[in-house]
Amino acid sequence: MKGKIIDKDTLFVTVLMDDSSTRSFPITCLPKSSTLGDEINLYSLRSPYQNDISNLM
């Protein structure tokens, strides 16, 4: 799934999805260089938890 960044604040990023829905993600999921209008692939988002290994088990 892909989306476009439509809002960015100190804690969360709001993304307008291809299906016209909106989703919020923690700012730590995206690269620091991300800006408004950037298109992102949801499958490439980083885990907001640095020590989260649940997806490896």
Q: Tell me what pLDDT residue 31 has.
A: 85
Q: 50 - beta bridge partners?
A: none
Question: Domain for residue 57, yes or no?
Answer: no
pLDDT at 32: 85
Of 39, 33, 35, the closest CA to residue 16 belongs to 39
- Residue 54 placed within a domain: no
**49 inside domain:** no
Does some domain include residue 50? no
Which pLDDT does position 50 carry in this prediction?
A: 56
37: in domain: no
Q: Which two tokens stand for residue 37?
A: 């209008």
Range of the domain at 3: 1-30
> Which pLDDT tens digit goes with each residue over 1-54?
899 999 999 899 999 999 999 999 999 888 888 899 999 988 888 766 555 555
In the chain, the number of structural domains is 1
